[in-house]
Amino acid sequence: MIRKSLMLAYAGGAYFLSLAALLYIMGFLANFGVPKGISDGEVGPFWRAILIDAGLIGLFGLHHSITARISFKRWWTKFIPAPIERATYLYMTAIMTGVLVYFWQPIPFTIWRVDAPLASGLIIAAYIGVWTMMSAATFHFGHFGFLGLAQAWQNFRQSPPKSSDMTARYLYALVRHPISLGWMTAPFVTPHLTAGHVVFAASTFAYIMLATPFEEADLIEELGDTYRDYRKRVPTFLPFLKKHQAPAKVSESASFTRD
């Protein structure tokens, strides 16, 4: 029982640390309310900053791509107990977030700046809306499981995972990867867009384009024809490109994303 309690506490720490890291990235991109924003720090040579920043995004993405794959999890859970596998991944993600922020090189060259209070306020509201959409997407397939807490709680209570059905509705009826769409969109939704925002967005876009086929291959391996049918009906990132049919049911334990 002590071991299970420790696992639960470990997962709880990962949950709150993940929320803190997410809030920090929100402030980082907005350049507001955090010790270091995307335009803060000593400005160095332009091309060196681009290479370092793109490399940091690539390093972050490499961690995500490797540790989120089914093949890695099969190996990883030989050493890390399954109830805290997701929590351990989230601790690693928080560390990588810290590395990204700490070593980020500012590129404060202005692309656009909106100073009108009303227009600026609307842009900020839209920015908050993007992050709200991304957060809402996690609840569709299990917010607490996505952030590693449900697995440890089920282990603590000695209860099996819930086997209820979910459908590809709401955000997942519009696009297959709403969280990835949010990551690609958020850097641009700012009253003061800098070259640093563009580098962040471009690097994130490149990573998502490279990683999504591998993510979907895992989903096909896990869900088979159910996901193949879903992929035919629902576009990857841009809504309304295809006609939608009745949503297909899948098990709640199998999510449509590994973001």
Q: Please state the three-class secondary structure of 45-67 as a single string.
A: CHHHHHHHHHHHHHHHHHHHHHH
Give mean pLDDT, residues 59-84.
Answer: 85
Helix-helix angle 117-140:178-185, to 10 degrees: 160
Residue 213 has pLDDT above 50, yes or no: yes
Token pair for residue 255? 């999510």
Q: How many residues does the chain have?
A: 259
SS3 175: coil
Does position 243 have pLDDT exceeding 60, yes or no? no
Backbone angles phi, psi at 192, to 5 degrees: -130, 95
Q: What are the residue ranges spanned by the domains of the chain?
A: 2-251
User: Exposure of 106 by Cβ count < 10 A (0-12 exposed, 13-18 middle, 19+ buried)?
Assistant: buried
The residue-averaged pLDDT of 217-232 equals: 85
Contact indicator for 180, 259 with CB cutoff of 8 Å: yes
Both structure tokens of 229: 């049918």
Residue scoring higher pLDDT (70 or 92): 92
Interval 134-176: pLDDT, tens = 999 988 878 888 899 998 988 888 877 665 444 677 888 889 8
Q: Encoding tokens for residue 117? A: 């209070």
Pairing of strands 192-194, 110-113: antiparallel
Instruction: Give the mean model confidence (pLDDT) for residues 198-202.
Output: 97
Cβ-contact 216, 177 below 8 angstroms: no
- Collapsed DSSP state (helix, strand, coil) of residue 258: coil
Token pair of 19, please? 């929320």
Cα dihedral sign, 144-145-148-150: positive
Which pLDDT score is estimated for 255?
A: 47
Our CA angle for 250, 253, 254, nearest 5°, is 55
Amino acid at 2: I
pLDDT of residue 34: 96
Rounded to the nearest 10°, the torsion over CA 230, 203, 179, 123 is -130
Mean pLDDT value across residues 227-238: 87
| pLDDT at residue 71 in the model | 79
pLDDT at 129 over 50: yes
**177 vs 237: CA distance, rounded Å:** 6
Query: Alpha-carbon distance 88 to 6, whole Å?
Result: 13
